[in-house]
Amino acid sequence: MNKVRKVIITFIITFIISYFIFGYLKSNFGVVIHWIPEATVWDKFREYYIRTFSFNILPSAIMAMIFTFIISLVNKIKN
C-alpha cells in the first residue's frame, strides 16, 4: 500500500506542475501578450489556466503519467 500511495502522490504533484507549465506555454507560445496596467494576478491566472482548463487537462494528464512512470522506474532501479 505504501508504494501505491507514493505513486499517487507523485502523479498528483507531477500533474499539477505539468498543468501549470503546459497552460503557461500554450497560452504564450508564439504570442506576445500586452496586459493592461489594471490587470491583476487573478486576471492572468484566469486567462492562462482557468479559461483553457478543458484544453490543458488531457495533455497535462498524459505528461504526468509519463513523468510518474519515469520517476517510478528510476526509484525501482535505485532500490
Q: What is the per-residue pLDDT across 9-54, written as a single tens digit (0 to 9) for each? A: 999 999 999 988 888 777 766 566 677 788 788 887 787 778 878 8
The total domain count for the chain is: 1
pLDDT for the residue numbered 33 = 66
Please name the residues in contact with 11: beta carbons below 8 A apart, sequence gap of 6 or more: 64, 65, 68
Host H or E run for residue 76? helix 53-78
Entry pTM: 0.76
Domain that holds residue 27: 2-78
